[in-house]
Structure 1
Amino acid sequence: MKLIKLALTSSLLTTSLAYAKPPEPELGKRWVINNAYSDEFNGNSLDKRKWLDHHRTWKGRPPAMFDPSTVSVQNGNMQITNKMLEKPNKKFTISGGAVQSIGQTAYHGFYESRFKASRINMSTTFWLSNRNVPFEGKNHLGQDCERDGWSMELDIVEAVGGVIDKAFGANFRQGMQYNTHVWYSGCEKGSRSRFSKGANVAEGDGTQAFNNKLPKGEEVWQNFNTYAAWWKDENEVDFYLNDGFAGRIQVDTSLLEKPYSRPMSMQLLTETYDWGRPLPTPEQLADNSINTSYYDWVRSYYYVDVDKDAVQQLERVGKADDIFVESATVKTTKLVRDTLQFTYLYETDEDVTALIELTKDSQSIYSQTVKLKAGYGHLADQIKLTKAMDFDNSQLTIHLLSNSQQKIASSKPVKVSVNVK
C-alpha cells in the first residue's frame, strides 16, 4: 500500500501516518474517487489534464506573486518552493505558487489533502472557490440591481509555519484554520462584502472549532497532516483533521437562503497575508530546509448510492491509485426467525466480488456472491435458512475476491447464536 511505502522511504515523515479516508458512509451509500480533483503526485510533472501551474484570474497578494517556476512534482510530492522574485514587479517582490484545477465543477462531496507546510510566514493552503456571477433577483439585504454579483469560497485549511506577530498566530502553526465565505459585490460601485463563518479568527468569525488542534507541541511545518472537508449541501460543511472531526459550519445566510449552491474550482497555493507579519526575509526564502510546501496528495470523492455509478468528469488513466485498504467489516447482525439480517462495510480500489459465507464446525453451510463497486461502501443483506436453529454457533464472514476469484481480504468472523429460552 502507498502509506506503507511512504513510511519506509520518505525522510520527510515523522508522525501523522494515520490512514486517511472519508467518514463512514451511511447505510446504502458509497464514497468513490472523483478523478478530476484527485492526484497522488507520483510523476515528475503536473498532470496537465487536471492542473494549471498558475491562477486564472489572480496574480497573488502583494508582496507575493504566483510564479509557475516555484511549482514542481518530485519524490512523490507536489512542491511549491517559495523564493525572492528574480525581478521585482511593482508591489511584488516574493515568488509564491498556485496550482489550480482545470475543472471548475467541484460540488458537494469530500475533499482532502495531505501536506507539510513551509516554516516561513507564507501560507500553505487547500481551498475551493468560484467566480463572481450576477445575482439574480432580490437578495436578503434587500438589494436588486444589474450591477450586483456574488461568489463563494471554501477555505478547507490555511496553514502558516512561521511565527506571526499576532495573538492568533499560533493557531495557524498548531492546528487547522478553516472558513466559509460568501462574497457580494453590491449595487454601489466598488462595494464588496464578505459573509464568513469558521475557525479562522483572522478572516472568519472564530467559531465552530472543536478538535482542530494538532497534538500538543506539534506544528504544521513538522509533519504531514491530512486536512479535509465534507461539503454536505448548500448550507453545511464538516471539517476533519487527520480523520478526526474538527468542526461544523452552517454557512452564513445573510445574502441568500442556500449559499453553497454553485460548483467551484480547487486551489493549492502559497501566499502572503496582510495580517501575516513579519514577512519572510530573503535569507529564509533562500533556505530550502524551510521555504517549501510539500503536498503528498489531494483526493476528492463523490457520495453516491452504493449500487450506482458515479459519472466521472475525467476518466481514469491506467491502474487505479492505491487509495483504499481492501477490507470488509461486518457491522451488525440480527436474527429474525429463520433469517439473518446483517450490514457490512467494504473498501476496494477496483470492482470486486463479495463472497458471503456462513460456516459451522469449519464447514460451509451457506454462501452467496455479490458484485461490489469500487470505493468505500455500506450495505445490507440477509441469509435465509430452513430454521433458526441452523444458525446456532455459526460464523458469518465476508471475503473480497479479485477478478481471478482470489481472496484479497476477509472480514473478522462474527459468531451467530440462537437464544433459546
Structure 2
Amino acid sequence: MLKINFSYFLYLIFILSFASCSNDEEEGIPEPKDTINPTITCVEPINVIVNIGTTETRITYSTPVGKDNLPGAITEQTSGLASGSLFPIGTTTNTFIVTDAAGNTVSCSFDVTVATPSEDKPFSLENGVGIPTGKKWTKVENLSDEFNNGTFDDSKWHRDPATDGFGWIGRPPGLFEADNVSVSDGNLNVTTLKYQTPKVVNGKNFTHGGAIIRSKNSGGVGNYYECRMKANKTVMSSTFWLAFKENCPRKLELDIQECVGRVHSGTDTWANNFDNIYHSNIFLHKRTCNGVTNEEKRSQKGVTLTEKNYSRYFVYGCWWKSETEILFYLDGEYSFTLTPPTNYDIEGFITMAIETYDWNPIDPNSNLFETGSFDDLSTKYDWVRTWKLEDK
C-alpha cells in the first residue's frame, strides 16, 4: 500500500513539474506587438460665403472615423468644432486623432473657412486674385450692382432683348422675356416657367420662358468680373459671361460660368456633370466677313463640384488679365487659366442668360416646372461686381 502511494506521489510531482515548466515557457514568449498604425481620412476643405453682417454660420460635415487592423481604435476631435456647430468668420482648423489599442496614433485635419464678400475689392481668399505692386482695385460702378434697392436698375441693365443691341430672343424652346426678371430680397431673380400654351415668335415655337440681362456699359481687358449666384433647379441654364458684338470677322464670347440645375437620361453624355460644375469657355465663333472665314475655336476648362449648382450661392470670378491670358476663380480661390484662341482685345457686355439647350433638353418625365417653388425655378444673383486696376 505504501509502495503504491509512493509511486502515485512521484507521478503527481512529475505532472506538476511538467505543467509548471509549460507555464514558464508560455509566459516567456512575448505576444507580438501591433506596429500597424490606424488610418483616418478627413473631408476636403470647406469654404462658405455668408452675407455681409453675418458673424457665424452652421456647418455640417462628415465626421472622420478612424480604422484599424484590430478592434479597439478610438477617434477623438482635438481641435476645431464638431459638425453642426456654428462656425465663426475666419478659418477654423479641425483635427481628429485615432488611437488604437496598442497606442499607435495618426491624425488628419481640414479647414472650414467662413468669409464675407468684400465691398471694396474683389472677393478673394488666400489663393484668390492678388493686387499687383503699386496698384489698387477700384469698383466700376456702372458695371456693378448689389440689387439691394428692390427695383430693377434700368440705367445699368437691359432685360428686353429687343433693345439690348443683340436681338437674341432665345434658343427654342426657351424664350427670353423681360417679365421673368425681378429684384427682391437683395437678389436679381430670373424665374423659369412652362407656358400653358406654346408661344410662336418669328415663326419659332417656344414652350418655356427664361430671360437675358445685359449690361448697358461695356468692359474690357484688365478688369475683374465676378458675381455671387445660385442656380435654378431646372434643366435650364444659369450663366455669367461677357458677350461681344460682331467685330468683322471676329465674334468672341467669354463664358465665366455656364451650368444647369438638372441633368437626366436625355442629357448628352459629355454634360452629365453640368449640374455640379464650374465650367468656363472662351470662343472664337465661326463667321464669314468680307470673304474671310474664321472657323470656330475655343478654350475651355471645368471643375467638377461636390455640391449641386443650386445648393448654395457660389462666387464666380474672372480676371481678364491680358489679351492672351484669362484667370478664373471660384469662391475666391484660383481655379484655372485659359489662353484665348485669338487676341481678346475688344470690349464686351456682362450677360446673364437663363436659356434652354439641345444637349440638355426639357425632360418630359419631370413636373418641376409645374410643382417647383419660386426659389426652385429662379436663378438668383446676390450681386455683380466689376473692378479695374488703378495706380495707388
**Partner of residue 302, structure 1:** 388
**Partner of residue 244, structure 1:** 333
Pick from 233, 240, 245: which aligns with 1:119? 233
**Partner of residue 39, structure 1:** 145
**Partner of residue 367, structure 2:** 283
Pick from 293, 296, 299: which aligns with 1:194? 296
CA distance 1:17–1:220, shift in 2 (3 Å): farther
**Partner of residue 5, structure 2:** none
Equivalenced residue count is: 271
**Partner of residue 254, structure 2:** 154
Question: Aligned AA for 1:108?
Answer: G
**Partner of residue 172, structure 1:** 274
Q: Over aligned residues, Cα RMSD in angstroms?
A: 2.9
* TM superposition shift of 1:69: 0.8
Mapping 1:14-93, distance limit 5 Å: 18-20=115-117, 21-22=123-124, 23-55=129-161, 56=164, 57-85=167-195, 87=197, 88-89=199-200, 90-93=204-207
CA distance 1:122–1:43, shift in 2 (3 Å): same
Distance 1:128 1:176 in 2: 16
Q: Which has the higher helix share?
A: 2
Pick from 51, 63, 79: which aligns with 1:3? 51
Larger Rg belongs to:
2
Distance 2:354 2:320 in 1: 23
Distance 1:153 1:67 in 2: 22
Distance 2:330 2:379 in 1: 18
CA distance 1:166–1:282, shift in 2 (3 Å): closer
Distance 1:96 1:132 in 2: 24
**Partner of residue 104, structure 1:** 218
Distance 2:364 2:349 in 1: 29
Does the Cα contact within 8 Å between 1:18 and 1:242 map onto a contact in 2?
A: no
Distance 2:196 2:113 in 1: 36
Report the 3-state secondary structure (helix = DSSP H, G, I; strand = E; otherwise coil) of the residue aligned with 2:297. strand
Q: Sequence identity of aligned pairs in percent?
A: 29
TM-score by length of 1: 0.59
Distance 1:298 1:152 in 2: 21
Does the Cα contact within 8 Å between 2:250 and 2:294 map onto a contact in 1?
A: no
* TM superposition shift of 1:192: 6.5
Question: Aligned AA for 2:116?
Answer: Y
Structure 2 gap ranges (5+): 1-49, 58-86, 88-111, 118-122
**Partner of residue 322, structure 2:** 233
Structure 1 gap ranges (5+): 135-148, 200-208, 254-258, 307-421
Question: Aligned AA for 2:281?
Answer: N
Question: Aligned AA for 1:159?
Answer: C
Question: Aligned AA for 2:216?
Answer: I
Does the Cα contact within 8 Å between 1:226 and 1:242 map onto a contact in 2?
A: yes
Report the 3-state secondary structure (helix = DSSP H, G, I; strand = E; otherwise coil) of the residue aligned with 1:290. helix
Distance 1:61 1:192 in 2: 23
Distance 1:71 1:16 in 2: 33
CA distance 1:105–1:243, shift in 2 (3 Å): closer
Report the 3-state secondary structure (helix = DSSP H, G, I; strand = E; otherwise coil) of the residue aligned with 1:44. coil
Residue deviations 1:170-191 (CA, integer Å, cap 9, x gap): 4322220101011241259897
Distance 2:351 2:195 in 1: 21
Question: Aligned AA for 1:219?
Answer: K
TM-score by length of 2: 0.63
Distance 1:50 1:35 in 2: 9
CA distance 1:54–1:44, shift in 2 (3 Å): same
Does the Cα contact within 8 Å between 2:175 and 2:210 map onto a contact in 1?
A: yes
CA distance 1:95–1:245, shift in 2 (3 Å): same
Distance 1:16 1:123 in 2: 29
Distance 2:335 2:209 in 1: 32
**Partner of residue 93, structure 2:** none
Pick from 284, 291, 303: which aligns with 1:182? 284
Report the 3-state secondary structure (helix = DSSP H, G, I; strand = E; otherwise coil) of the residue aligned with 2:190. strand
Distance 2:246 2:228 in 1: 29
Residue deviations 1:43-99 (CA, integer Å, cap 9, x gap): 222111100113322101111010111100000100011012365113211110111
